[in-house]
Amino acid sequence: MVSTPNKQIIKEIEKPFCCTHCGSEKYIKYGKKNGKQIYMCKNCNCRFVDNLYFERLKADPKIICVTLDLYFKGISLRKISDHLKQFYDLDIHFTTVFHWIKKYIIIMDEYVRQFKPNLSDIWNVDEMMISVNGDWFYLWNVIDDETRFHLASVISKNRTIDEASKTLRTAKKRSHGKRPTFIITDGLKSYNKAIEEEFHKVPRKTFHIGNVGIRGKKGGEDYFDNNLVERLQGTIRERNKTQRGLKDQYSLFIRGHQLYYNFIKPHESLYGNTPAEIANVDLDLGNRKWQNLLIQAIKYQNRFWGEAKNEDSL
């Protein structure tokens, strides 16, 4: 694990691509097909594309990024399919769109989790009701107070100490072992024991500021409220209405929304930056955040698999 974005990793995955047949870096452009740039190798005369795992798809990475962006902005799968037909003349079934979302959310999420965010000493925690396959569950969320970095989302049927502890463990893992000074929650009693179990086993204490809502609560000279996590849950609730609930308890939507919230969506309260940028997890994504993050993640995965394959051959 690394504490900040490893510039060597980013530098290595940004190296010029090479021929997929012979590995030569000497090639020329050789026209386009289905919107994808074709290259011809000067060494072996083979033609190839620099799309890594996109070769078998009808669309290029830009189209996939369009579907991701529209989906997490609240557009339904069928409407995304219609959008691709009208504006890109691509006949992509909505189930294919869903397959793209599932596949590439996993790849990008696994990539960004290696980087440790630089967080503040205050975490906000709250739970909300969410519809899962026609039944009601609880969605627990943890967010950092200063950076707005979304640390954890856990779905459970109950609100016991075990579920509260699992949520805090998930946040602790995503923060790479960070110990906050304050954890702000509502009046749910499960938090007291959960915080004690997860954070009081070492000398430095984590203080629990409980029974705090939107109106806030004063503690000494400090004033605490849970507005940040309430606002986050409002965006999840709004998107969930469009979806008419989640299909299952382990939906990738929650994982994808966390990725979107932290690395893609600009926040007005952060002056147009993303929580990842404020938390010093700056992957240099520029204006084309979806596309650049997707390319970085796939190239890193390709590099990782290549190293693993070489090790297996030894």
CATH number of the structural domain spanning residue 207: 3.30.420.10
Same domain, 145 and 190: yes
* Predicted local distance difference test score (pLDDT) of residue 273: 95
Say whether both 260 and 185 belong to one domain. Answer: yes
Indicate whether 242 and 192 sit together in one domain.
Answer: yes
Residue 1 in domain: no
Q: Are residues 65 and 155 in the same domain?
A: no
Task: Give how many domains the chain has, as a whole number.
Answer: 2
Residue 86's pLDDT band (boundaries 50, 70, 90)?
very high
Bigger pLDDT: 168 or 200? 168
Q: Quick one: pLDDT at residue 50?
A: 62
Do 259 and 162 fall within a single domain?
yes
Residues in a beta bridge with 140: 127, 154
148 is in which domain, residue-wise? Answer: 122-278
Using CB atoms within 10 A of its CB, is residue 11 exposed (0-12), middle (13-18) or buried (19+)? exposed
Identity of the amino acid at 201? K
pLDDT over 90 (residue 111): yes
CB-CB contact of 149 with 259 (8 Å): no
In the chain, alpha helices (H): 7-13, 61-72, 77-88, 94-112, 161-174, 190-199, 227-243, 252-259, 275-278, 289-313
Res 276: pLDDT: 96
Q: Provide the pLDDT confidence category of residue 36 given band limits of 50, 70 and 90.
A: low
pLDDT of residue 33: 72
Residues with Cβ within 8 Å of 54's Cβ and at least 6 positions away in sequence, in order, are 36, 60, 61, 64
Do 241 and 163 sit in the same domain of this protein?
Answer: yes
Residue 67 — very low, low, confident or very high, per pLDDT cuts 50/70/90? very high
Q: Do 75 and 57 share a structural domain?
A: yes
> pLDDT band for position 31 (50/70/90)?
confident
Would you say residue 178 has pLDDT above 80?
yes
Q: Quick one: pLDDT at residue 223?
A: 57
Same domain, 168 and 90: no
Domain check: are 98 and 170 in the same one? no
Is 142 inside a domain boundary? yes
Same domain (yes/no): 203, 104: no
Query: Is 141 within a domain?
Result: yes
End-to-end alpha-carbon separation of the chain, Å?
Answer: 25
Residue 2 lies in a domain: no
pLDDT greater at residue 296 or residue 48: 296
Residue 203 confidence (pLDDT): 61
Same-domain check for residues 298 and 235: no
pLDDT at residue 215, rounded to an integer:
53
Nearest to 110 by CA among 306, 304, 284, 247: 304
Average pLDDT, the chain: 81
Q: What is the DSSP letter of 260?
A: I
Say if residue 205 is in the same domain as residue 86: no
What pLDDT, on a 0 to 100 scale, did the predictor assign at position 222? 56
Token code pair at residue 48 = 């190839």
